[in-house]
Amino acid sequence: MDRREFLGATAAATLKTARPARFELEEITIDELARGLDNGNHTARSLTSAYLERIQAMDKRGPAVNAVIELNRDALKIAAELDRLPRDKRGRLHGIPVLLKDNIDTADAMHTTAGSLALVEAPAPADATVTKRLREAGAVILGKTNLSEWANFRSTHASSGWSGRGGQTRNPYVLSRNPCGSSSGSAVAVTANFCAIAVGTETDGSIVCPASMNGIVGIKPTLGLVSRAGIIPIAHSQDTAGPMARTVRDAAVLLGVLAGIDPRDPATADANLNIAVDYTKHLDLNGLRGARLGVARKFFTMGMAVDRLMTGVLDKLKQLGAEIVDPVELPSHGQYDATELEVLLYEFKADLGEYLRGRGGPMKSLADVMAFNTQSTVEMQWFGQELMEQAQQKGPLTEKAYLEALEKNHRLSRKEGIDAVLAQHKLDAVIAPTAGPAWLTDLVTGDHDTGGCSTPAAVAGYPHITVPAGFVHGLPVGLSFFGTAWSEPVLLRLAYAFEQGSKARRIPGFLRT
């Protein structure tokens, strides 16, 4: 065997797949599941059973991606009850299995912990509004997904997808790679076909980054479109739940279920005139024709391979009828990074304390959680709690430092940021690579990411959609579309046209390394 043959054989051995046999529901969509339920090929119980079996076979055994932190012991019973409903009583997601991130309250036998052992002994007293809307739509909640503990707001050098309660989630494309976070388990579960759809949450990047690195669609909605009531918080000025799905259409269906006004969350009052009854009506195969898209080149920092991929993506967008404005620059790019963290620190202390006091149990404040972590042999085994310590030093939300930072963030990210560049170039949306390819998971020194474009939309509270764009050395990379407040219909139209024109998604291979 010569050197070339030896290297080829070594590479083949290295990339040996752990992927199991084809799953009967692999890549199935909500519409296909609904048709199967209507014509009797499926029942809610049979679907639930099939997904539960797949999770039990692949999540902790087999490839062991470790996406699901807890299964719903009542899922089969709930599904059987849904099967007995007459057709005229069935909701939009009747019988559709869904997984929830483990920071979304469920008033049932499951825990809601944000991945922390500190909250295991205190069950949630009521469903989150998101949970309630899913149940009313007829969805079957299969269980909770693992996440970066406390939605990645504990340590400055944590590993995304790790929690004290759930351990480390792995990327199904290459198991030694990281899934990104904090909605790690939701993204992995969707791409691994453990469910039809899942719900994640984002403060800055926690939906779009894991969606990008796991080859799926993720939507971070406009702040206030989806209620935050009953979701363990980081910061009320940026937090939102959102859909994670394998297709834009499925994500649009889920968004329509999640969106709505909620007296428990005052921010949703602003959504009164901006909620679409059916977001799928905005999906258009020709949705890119005549669209003006601005290329935010300052986010092209993820290496030459990603740049080469994006060159092909821009060519595809042009072929599909888009007018590309390249480059465009957000006037305030990078000018509010420090004040974003300042706001998050203040709000985390205040918002988490309010949530914990309303929930009940031994944890009443951020200080209580920090004390628990210090005494735990599990929680502090890999990472500290530097961000929590910084937050604990902050005062009330009436302090001048907080108010000035919040005003600066909103002004620079909105009027002098996204809105300014859209108006200047008459754009429908701004585009950029969502994130680089997944890095190697490293519990010792934490994440080694190469950047992303999530911050402007996150700080502004504006919508952001990522769609699979292609692969770099077998690892997925997403394309981001973001725009002004309440522009979900526009972004969905653009994202759907690109998705259908590019067909970039591939099923993960569960490669070992």
Per-residue pLDDT of the chain (513 residues; tens, 9 = 90+): 443 333 333 333 344 445 566 899 999 999 999 999 999 999 999 999 999 999 999 999 989 999 999 999 999 999 999 999 999 999 999 999 999 999 999 999 999 999 999 999 999 999 999 999 999 999 999 999 999 999 999 999 999 999 999 999 999 999 999 999 999 999 999 999 999 999 999 999 999 999 999 999 999 999 999 999 999 999 999 999 999 999 999 999 999 999 999 999 999 998 888 998 899 999 999 999 999 999 999 999 999 999 999 999 999 999 999 999 999 999 999 999 999 999 999 999 999 999 999 999 999 999 999 999 999 999 999 999 999 999 999 999 999 999 999 999 999 999 999 999 999 999 999 999 999 999 999 999 999 998 999 999 999 999 999 999 999 999 999 999 999 999 999 999 999 999 999 999 999 999 998
Q: How far apart are the first and last CA of the chain?
A: 24
Q: Which of 482, 441, 469, 35 is nearest to 219 (CA)?
A: 482
SS3 129: helix
Instruction: Given the residues 116, 155, 206, 332, select the one marked as catalytic.
Output: 206
Edge-to-edge strands, sheet with 217-220: 68-71, 140-145, 97-101, 197-202, 240-245, 217-220, 464-472, 475-482, 429-433, 292-296, 323-328
d(CA 28, CA 195): 10
Q: How far is CA 166 from CA 161, 169, 180, 185, in A?
A: 9, 8, 15, 10
Instruction: Given the residues 155, 163, 182, 212, select the one marked as catalytic.
Output: 182
Q: Per CATH, is 22-502 categorized as 3.30.70.1140?
A: no
206 is catalytic: yes
What burial class does residue 473 get, using C-beta atoms within 10 Å of its C-beta: 0-12 exposed, 13-18 middle, 19+ buried?
Answer: exposed
237 is catalytic: no
Q: Which two tokens stand for residue 76?
A: 């089969």
487 is catalytic: no
d(CA 61, CA 511): 15
Digit-coded pLDDT (tens) for 35-73: 999 999 999 999 999 999 999 999 999 899 999 999 999
Q: Where are the domains of the chain?
A: 22-502
d(CA 219, CA 41): 31
